[in-house]
Structure 1
Amino acid sequence: MPLEKYNQKRDFSKTKEPKGIRKTSKGALQFVVQKHAASHLHYDFRLEIDGVLVSWAVPKGPSADHDVKRLAMHVEDHPMDYIDFEGIIPEGEYGGGTVMVWDIGTYHAEGNDDASKDNALMKKQLKEGSIKIVLQGSKLKGSYHLFSIKDDDKQWLLMKGNDEFADGKAFNELSIITKRDFNAIAKGNDVWESNRKSATKKIVPTKKTERREEEKMAHAAKSDGAFSGDDLADAKKITHFPENWRPQLATLTDAAFDHGDWIFENKFDGYRALIQIQNKKATIISRNGIKFNGKYPEIAKSFDGTPQDMILDGEIVVEDSKGKSHFQWLQKYEDHPGKGKLKFYAFDILYFQGFDLRNLGLLLRKKILKAVLPKAANIIYSEHQIGTGIKAFEAVAAKGGEGIIAKKSDSRYQTDKRSRDWLKIKTDKQQEMVIGGFTEPQGGRKGIGALLCGYYDGKDLIYSGKVGSGFTEHILEDLRKKLDRIERKASPFTTIPKEKNVHWVSPKLIAQLKFSEFTETGSMRHPVFLGLRSDKDPKDITIEKPGVVAEKSSDTLTAVKEPQKNRTKSRIEFSNLDKVFWPKEKITKGDVIDYYKSVAAYILPYLKERPQSLRRTPDGIKSEGFFQKDVAGKVPKWIKTRKIKSDSAGESIEWLICNDEETLLFLANWGCIEMNPWSSRVGSLNNPDYIIFDLDPKGVPMKNIIATATKLKEVLDLLKVPAYIKTSGGNGLHVFIPVLPKYTYEHTRQFSHLVSQMVHRDLPEITSLERMPAKRKGKVYLDFLQNGRGKTMASVYSLRPREGAGVSTPLEWDEVNDSLDLKAYNINTIPKRLQEKGDLWANFFDDAIDLKSILNKI
């Protein structure tokens, strides 16, 4: 593509991009990969050929995994002066957006050692539509292949050659020449200039290197250096005031602990609230979005007039003269405003002057909070201790306080999420309960006798006992009035309590209780009424059990999800359990670990003694992740590994073997959403024990996939071959045949090819054996090539890192019909399905066939 097209698309009076001038290629040829945030984020892969940069747009960027192919769209040539362009293309101009030099270096044609021949060889390869090169960059190294897949020369594929650099590792995403990320480049106001006197160029920063918004921030803070605009470098600028954010919640843990990476604050006995200040007006918002201005006008008034817009997180409490908070006083504060001192304790800041602060570390957020918090007698900054949780807990317990909150010091703020980065440790057991009824008072007591309380388990209200202490005479009379208004005839509890003289009520009121312990039957022992809560939804009230168990030592904190008495010692230190892996479904990393724990007994028979090709997706489905095969020196010594010689390089790499639940959970904690085992086991690695038929569904209606699977079953039935079917976990289906491990991968591939040909013969209109996607559009691809040494397929019961959190699930053949809904097989449904149906593949390996005897029949 000549440079005329490049020049025609650009107005060089508006863009700093260089004009298109062809140069003479001499010496080692150069390449560059530029990451480009235009209308769509992509990577521009550019090779110097005959004095220009021949260019491809690669949407997902280069990979270091030999098995991964990337679409590469051939675009117009660029001039050689573009090779280190980094900066901003103005909006409205062609390609408007931010450009980063992601990698740069030299290259040569594969198999050629004479640099003087490279240019001629590359012109020939480009014309033929098949390019094989060796890159010598900072990130991209070794063999890479580009080949055209359509006659119009537009669509190509980019893939990593199979060499020692094909390690599947993720790349550093910073600029290779300035070490900046996209945000820094976009904020830097840089102008690109070409130094015409030398072969290199440079990035020249302008004099205004600080953002105007940050200068306003530092001035607005008026904090005498407590924080500056530099503290906000990683904060996100947003254009709207976020009115609908809700607080991050803490997970209950069983004991206090010491740890240098955690801070410890007092746990307040009050109402959680966000203070939203916009245009000098404060609004108090409860954890459920209820406005509290009318209940606590003094707090709102203390914040009114604050010149900066902000959102603060904290707790409203009422304290006595000794500084002890009283929840009942707070509950009745509107009726008795003189009883105690109303205060707001601020412990976090989410937003300030147009900046979203949630992605900043906790200690940095607290630094900003302390600097900008308005000064008033009833507004208090919540102090903290670093590392010494046990000492902080003992001090609170000695004063009769409610407990402490432990927070990971570098944690981000997770809006409207219960997180294990925040842990609550209580001095006594407390629990909210829903009131479902009450008994008549006896003797001289007035109002009520006792409250009948419960909690929700799904849609069921479970009875948890009655509460008859903690009431004053005034509280008893007030409760009776409230309860009489919501009286009903029928019990709201799933199991009706055997109590006399009961009045049932609609489950609308929530009681805050303290008690000594739960009995074995789930009832509270020695419960005491503390007050009513109006800041929560009754449907949200469930049994609150420790979600994390703290183990104390000098330098580690092990957090697990089960209470101490119900678990065994784990060698895994779980981390970032609340990291969201599926944003739409709000499924977290902890949910993935829970899933694999629940299905471990079912999935392990299909993983044991098989090398694992690890697909690691530590950021969840928002990124494609990366494959890792060699785990040498990267996993704990207790995990089984096996050195296996690579056929191509002749070198051994160390593969992970998943033989037990602990290794399975280690993989899940390592970000392996998907489990990808070999088709063969240690001891017979060259002899697979199953054959795979992958029905590739891209762009194909579901009815055609069903028809193809049904025809495949007919063919295999005629051959008297057992066929096991499962969902892919995405949009397709997989059919497996168990075989005795005495034949090679070539034998199993040939058999798969032969049967696939038989299916295609009967269904030529809807199936294809063509490898190139362009030649099989709208047809089910019968991918027999999945049967190869080292090739992997998602295991039975494996999660897939795709939208919907699908699971590769065994099916009964009568389920394979027009009503089949692949989305129904997901992380939420499979554990229950297993309880109902068990493992549909339980006899899989017992049904292994002798391949030779089957071939003799054909």
Structure 2
Amino acid sequence: MPKLSEYNKKRDFKKTAEPKGKVKKGGKELHFVVQKHDASRLHYDFRLEIDGVLVSWAVPKGPIADTSVKRLAMHVEDHPMDYIDFEGTIPKGQYGGGTVMVWDTGTYLAEGSDDVEESEKMLRKMHEEGNIKVVMKGKKLKGSYHLVHMHGKDQEWLLMKGKDDYADKKDFDQTSVLTGRTLEEIEEDKKSDVWNSNKNDKSKSKRATPKKAGTDADVESIDAPVAFTPDDVANAKQLKDFPIEWLPQLATLTDEVFDSKEWAYEIKYDGYRAIIQVNKGKVNLVSRNGISFNKKYAPLVKAFEAITNDVVLDGEIVVEDEKGISHFQWLQYFAENPNRGKLKCYVFDILYFNGFDLTSLGLVQRKKILEALLPQSDEIIYSGHTIGNGSKAIKQVQKNGGEGLIAKKLTSKYYVNKRSKDWLKIKVSKEQEMVIGGFTDPQGSRTAFGSLLLGYYEDGKLVYSGKVGTGFNEESLKDMHEKLLKLEQKTSPFSVKPKERGIHFIKPELVAQIKYSEWTETNSLRHPVFIALRNDKDPKKVVREVASSTEKIVPEEKTKKAVKKNTKEKSAVDTTEKPKAEPKKAVTKKPATKKPASKAVAKKGWDHSKAEVTHPDKIFWPKEGYTKGDVINYYDEMAQWIMPYIKDRPQSMRRTPNGIDKDGFFQKNVAGSAPDWAQTEKIHSDSTKEDIEYLICNDKETLIYMANRGCIEINPWSSRIGTLDNPDYIIFDLDPNQASIKDLVTTAKKVKEILDSLGINGYLKTSGGKGLHVFIPILPKYTYDQSRDFSHIISQAVNSALPKITSLERMPKKRIGKVYLDFLQNGKGKTMACAYSLRPREGATASTPLEWDELNDKNFDLKNYNIKTLPERVKEKGDLWANFFNDAVDLKALLDKLS
């Protein structure tokens, strides 16, 4: 149980304003904070929310992102949750007297879990066992971190970075994530020797202490963190009246990213563009069509009331999740659900200030003025920029799951209500506004409507561009249907009537934002996905957006040769697991040691008009010479054997499109990228609070499609559609960590021995790597927690019987030479290579069902089961797991036997 008595005992609350210790009930997320603390010695306080308090460690040298470095972490007293956003000064003479900075903060979960309640249970046990593993979602600390209690010590722990995509040897920024201040600036800002919390100081700048700017005339009233002078507005034109009619400048879509020192690169936000008018203290938020946002986004109106000058600003209104990813649909329905995400406005330009028209000034001058006077808060953020390196900027946007970049010429003026080539849009994914001209009747189990009929205007006529039926849930289907029925009409609004069944036409008054992969030769959108309605767009102004050539806009002699942007759909990849963007390199084909590269893919039993094959000669295994075509041929031949183990199961696609020597990545969300004919299923994710559209592989065409996308291995869920919360098998993953084959075999036999004693038929297979798997089929009536508990019980029994050669220790360094009994593989959404799946490993090995007697073979070698041997093996032995699902056991009966 968490206790705050020690915390309270150490503090005199008459002298310090630190909060008294009170345990608070947990919310919907688990939070953490790292505070940089300059007390008697400089250190960092690493605090994790566990059971309503901040469990704390003092880390003298601070957290790192380098996996090769360990940091000493001294376990100290628990702190109250109210401590999480304190920044300022503790009085001298008081416990911990000195300056405190909020160095980083965010949310986290236990490693291996995407559920808060489950994480809390795991964390209690991890803390008790002295081995805490978490996944952090901070502004600085991201990914896996481990805290391990040093054996035989009292308070000494070690803080380490886990190996993942966020591991790096970079140095962290040493300013506050709340206010942007250094420790010295926080010390200078202290007001008497008491704790100074920023909790209620929402208007404080995030960059520096406010200072009066030394300016004259109408500029002298600025209270700004970055001073500017009269020279900055010397060329500005003075206006008599406040400009209430100004609308934003628009950018031109371009076809590729570029590098130029004459251009600035800003993040392109996925929200509503807004002009912010502050006139005599009154705030008005105006859409790009002149519609007021005040009622819909009232919290922003209140936030902008902190501005005491008359200004016109340009920005983007968004709603972000805890990862900082914006969601347009959340923004659209913010008024109905204001607690879903964080409402913000990113401000990137200033057009008017206290009687001066600033639009004739250059971009850099305008942004300098903007940064100086903008009172930043949780809701209002200054949108910064980088100069020169667009290629690097777009890669970072891709990694963070962003929409794209806006490139702006440094010297550019602001063109009110015009589209200019001084501002360029560079998108990561392709999107297009479309006018809705009708809808079709629903089919099968679908409700409300089937698809929306889309179009765009060309020479004043509405041109049909296809239909979209994905991107909806039951709620949005119903809401959209109500809007459609109110606009229904008998005549077609399209210039050429679409040839679709069950059509209903509507007045072309609704505009939809659509994500797609490409335009077809017939001017239709390929793989369209509905994102949201745009009530800020005029339907008559919706035209087909064609990307202008970057080379024609930005002279080549002024740019470096940048890597051409890959505009294929990126949002199909889960934001917690993005691939690292790499420049294209020529593939060096090494001499094949076992076989030559395939020349073609055998045309066997699948519909090639659906599952197309591209680049079959691409080398996937450089040493062996195996190709992508070999993978496709393998799955074509093995489909009848593998399909029973992947049918009706969501697929977490592990894609290795550049071969086994390059980093692969997992793709869960296939919205907008899966073929129209492929089956998909929307599943709600507790971690992202969004629906993820998973691919369901129920036919050979889908299997070949996955292989063509670079899926060397196949990773299905342990549960099926209809019973997603109830797995139908339990996994025992026997993972050798430099253990011998003899010990691995001994461990597997011990698992069998214990299962046999319970009357359970355990099914054996190779992992396709260095280990073995034992699966137990169960009735899909029980939870993942129950399946994991059973696996844990059996694993403990195996460990007790074989303590010298097995381990339940999760940290690899503590189990070198032992077989790890990994029971944690039993979890919702966790995946394991299925029976007969290839693996992206040396030798093109495959996860192969075995007979238990095969473990007695003195020549047993895991490498013997591979892409070449398996097709012949199944012809000889058949499917050794053919009775797998017929042997499903009742888990409750098993647990009763063990109780």
Same fold by TM-score, threshold 0.5 exceeded?
no
TM range (shorter): 0.3 to 0.5
**Of the two, which has the highest radius of gyration?**
1
| TM-score in terms of structure 1 length | 0.41
| TM-score in terms of structure 2 length | 0.39
